[in-house]
Amino acid sequence: DSGVTQTPKHLITATGQRVTLRCSPRSGDLSVYWYQQSLDQGLQFLIQYYNGEERAKGNILERFSAQQFPDLHSELNLSSLELGDSALYFCASSVGGQAGTDTQYFGPGTRLTVL
Amino acid sequence: GENVEQHPSTLSVQEGDSAVIKCTYSDSASNYFPWYKQELGKRPQLIIDIRSNVGEKKDQRIAVTLNKTAKHFSLHITETQPEDSAVYFCASLLSGSARQLTFGSGTQLTVLP
């Protein structure tokens, strides 16, 4: 167990709908990252937050948005869902900070199925 | 931006043999290189990492080597066991304020009993 929690574990919805995925980082971690993993694909970085502020953006669609709350949990909002959005969505957390390197620990993921 | 290439995409070895997975990165400013193991439907789990001021790191049966000049790093698994079967991802992280990991495309390792 990495200490990162994600809910829900599974989500089935229809095209055009909107869903919210939730992530709670490890205790003490200030950075949260979101990744998308489609079937037989690698891990695509979506977005990073550090202590409530957006730090970096990757291949995140305009239909997707995220935020990090004062208690440091984060939510990823996916709207106008398409079949191609079906994937595993992982959250990771790290200590964060301005300098140095830190390890990212992944949550168990949310499997999103768009029908 | 950073680009990470990983080879091979699939690797089959006999139990007890060694397995080697190689990655190259493009940005010389990268300074942290983790390796993750992912079993089917599970989360990526960190198995070993190396920082740019170190050339080699070992942890029991696994080791990672880094060649900064050539910009490549490798994962070595010795005495492979069936439970080592999984997808392995390498990654690199650029120094600076953004802590964005760039992942390789993954290697499906199968250890045959």
The predicted-structure confidence for A41-63, as pLDDT tens digits, reads as follows 788 999 999 999 998 888 899 99
Q: Report pLDDT for A97.
A: 65
CA distances from B41 to A7, B48, B53 (A): 15, 21, 34
Q: Tell me the percentage of chain B whose pLDDT exceeds 90.
A: 76
**3-class SS at B97?**
coil
Interface test with B, best of A104, A111, A113 (most B CBs within 10 A): A104
- Residue A3 in contact with partner chain B when CB distance is under 8 A: no
Integer-rounded Cα Rg, in Å, for chain A is: 13
If one counts every other C-beta atom within 10 angstroms of the C-beta of residue A103, the result is: 14
Which pLDDT band holds residue B94 (cuts at 50, 70, 90)? confident
pLDDT of residue B92 exceeding 70: yes
pLDDT in tens, A61-84: 999 999 999 999 999 999 999 999
For range B3-25, the mean pLDDT: 97
Q: Report pLDDT for A95.
A: 86
pLDDT of residue A98 exceeding 70: no
Mean pLDDT of chain B: 92
Interface test with B, best of A2, A9, A43, A105 (most B CBs within 10 A): A43
pLDDT in tens, B21-69: 999 999 888 889 999 999 988 999 999 999 888 899 999 999 999 999 9
Q: Report pLDDT for B97.
A: 54
Integer-rounded Cα Rg, in Å, for chain B is: 14
CB contact under 8 A, B32 and A101: yes
CB nearest to A42's CB, from B93, B97, B104 = B104
CA-nearest residue to A96 within chain B is: B99
Q: How many CB pairs under 8 A join A and B?
A: 60
For range A92-102, the mean pLDDT: 72
Q: Report pLDDT for A100.
A: 47
Which pLDDT band holds residue B15 (cuts at 50, 70, 90)? very high
Min distance B105 CA to chain A CA atoms (Å): 5
Q: What is the 3-state secondary structure (H, E, C) of chain A?
A: CCCCEEECCEEEECCCCCEEEEEECCCCCCEEEEEEECCCCCCEEEEEEECCEEEEECCCCCCEEEEECCCCCEEEEECCCCHHHCEEEEEEEECCCCCCCCCCEECCCEEEEEC
Which pLDDT band holds residue A11 (cuts at 50, 70, 90)? very high
CB nearest to A45's CB, from B41, B51, B100 = B100
